[in-house]
Amino acid sequence: MDCIFCKIINGDIPAYTLYEDDIVKCFLDVNPITNGHMLIIPKEHYTALKDIDLDVLSHIMKISKLMEEKIMIKLNPDGLKLVQNNGFIQEVKHYHLHLIPAYKNEQEMIDVKEIYEKLK
C-alpha cells in the first residue's frame, strides 16, 4: 500500500510523534495551518469515517481529549478545532483527525521542531 500515514506508522517516514499506543499515533502536521496543528491516526488502515471501527473511533476521541489538554496548557490557544474530512476533500485516504489550535491574534508560524519541543 502506498499510504503516507501507513509509512509513518511503520517508521518508513519520520514524524514528530506526540503520543502513540497500540491503536493510534498522534503527530504534528508537517504543513500546519497553525502552531500545534496535529493529527491522530489509527494504526490500522481505515479509509474514511464510514469504514472505521467504533471502538477505534472512540479511542481516537479519548486521545483527542488528552492532546487538547496538552495543547491548551503548553501553547495557550484561544480555542481548538477538530476536523475530519471524507471523500474528495480528504487529501490522504487514511482516516485521520486534525486538532487545530485557534488563536484570536495571528500567530507567527514557528518551526515544527520547536513546537514539538514545547509539546513533548
C-alpha to C-alpha distance for 30 and 43, rounded to whole angstroms: 18
As given in the structure block, the three cell numbers for residue 60 are: 481516537
As given in the structure block, the three cell numbers for residue 17 are: 510523534
Catalytic residue among 37, 45, 59, 96: 96
Residue 96 a catalytic site member: yes
Strands 17-20 and 24-28: antiparallel
Query: Residue 81: which of 65, 66, 98 has the closest Cα?
Result: 98
The DSSP string of 19-40 is EE-SSEEEEE-SS-SSTT-EEE
Q: Which residues are catalytic?
A: 96
